[in-house]
Amino acid sequence: MAYDFEVTHCDSFAIVTGVSRRENNLDEAKDSAIAQGEQLGGTHIVWLQTDMGDPTKVVAVIYKCQI
């Protein structure tokens, strides 16, 4: 897996999930995960899994790195 940042310069990470049952479900689930990452002070996101079931779910790792 390729990253566009140096993981060695990251001091913490968290796993977040986004869930949506609405019409634009994938975008909304991703937006939810991104918002959680922003609340945690994350600087980078790596998507791990997308489940297009009902509800649509995404799982991501949020990294807090030096920029």
pLDDT in tens, 9-60: 788 899 999 999 988 899 999 999 999 999 999 998 999 999 999 999 999 9
Residue 23, phi then psi, degrees to nearest 5: -60, -45
Considering the entire predicted model, what is its pTM?
A: 0.83
Domains of the chain: 7-65 (3.30.1660)
- For residue 58, the tally of other CB atoms under 10 A from its CB is 24
- Cβ contacts of 35-38, under 8 Å, gap ≥ 24: 36/62, 37/62
pLDDT of 1 higher than 70: no
